[in-house]
Chains A and B, each alone.
Chain A
Amino acid sequence: EPEVTQTPSHQVTQMGQEVILRCVPISNHLYFYWYRQILGQKVEFLVSFYNNEISEKSEIFDDQFSVERPDGSNFTLKIRSTKLEDSAMYFCASEEGGNTEAFFGQGTRLTVV
């Protein structure tokens, strides 16, 4: 069964460092998303990506964040200068259409120290 894969599963980084979280969405899907979930809290939308550009982004997704689809398969989230409050689980999701079931990856747990 096709699945969304994310790497790494866990990333520890020092405050102020840059991190890149990687995702491989399901191959025939067209819509890609990053979500964040702080431990014990709800899932928060960060950004959606369609047709090689950002379609929507939340207030959380400030200038420190960027997304890229560098090739036909990978979808990355970059945080330029990490802060302690960026510590969370980051989920990548993809959808075949814009209003269909979202398939989530297993997440990357980012710990900023």
Chain B
Amino acid sequence: GQSLEQPSEVTAVEGAIVQINCTYQTSGFYGLSWYQQHDGGAPTFLSYNGLDGLEETGRFSSFLSRSDSYGYLLLQELQMKDSASYFCAVRDSNYQLIWGAGTKLIIKP
């Protein structure tokens, strides 16, 4: 079956750096995406990795290693507004997004 594994919850301090890992096992792979979802809100796109390496977008970076079926999202200079759930999602051989269960990021002052 297809599966994505990510931690259920991560806690960090405002201003710090946090890394959310994601490992995947899917039928086909056309890229790893990250989405942010605030409570009661819709998922919003953060980043996409189609090839190995690091992609940087402001305070957020995402990394992919296809040989390890692994990626991570790195959030720097954490702000209270970054408190949300973060989902990794893999596009499989049918180009469908298969989602992880989400990581709840708790930020403490």
Q: Do A44 and B99 have beta carbons less than 8 Å apart? A: yes
Q: Do B42 and A91 have beta carbons less than 8 Å apart? A: yes
**B96 on the interface (CB 8 Å rule)?**
yes
Q: Do A99 and B91 have beta carbons less than 8 Å apart? A: yes
Q: How far is the CA of A104 from the CA of B99 in the complex (A)?
A: 14
Within 8 Å by CB of A43, from B30, B45, B94, B99, lies B99
B33-54: contact bitstring with A at CB < 8 Å (1 yes, 0 no)?
A: 1000000011111001000000
Q: Do B48 and A101 have beta carbons less than 8 Å apart? A: yes
Size of interface on B: residues with Cβ below 8 Å to A: 21
The residue on B at minimum CB distance from A91 is B42
Size range of the chain A interface in the assembly = 10 to 19
Please indicate the chain A residues that have their CB under 8 angstroms from the CB of B95 in the complex.
48, 56, 98-99
The residue on A at minimum CB distance from B91 is A99
Within 8 Å by CB of A45, from B41, B87, B97, lies B97
Known pairs A42-B87, A42-B101, A45-B99; A56 contacts B43 (CB<8 A): no
6 nearest A-B pairs in the assembled complex, by CB-CB distance: A104-B42, A42-B101, A43-B99, A101-B45, A98-B95, A42-B99
Binding site for B on A (CB under 8 A): 33, 41-45, 48, 55-56, 91, 98-99, 101-107
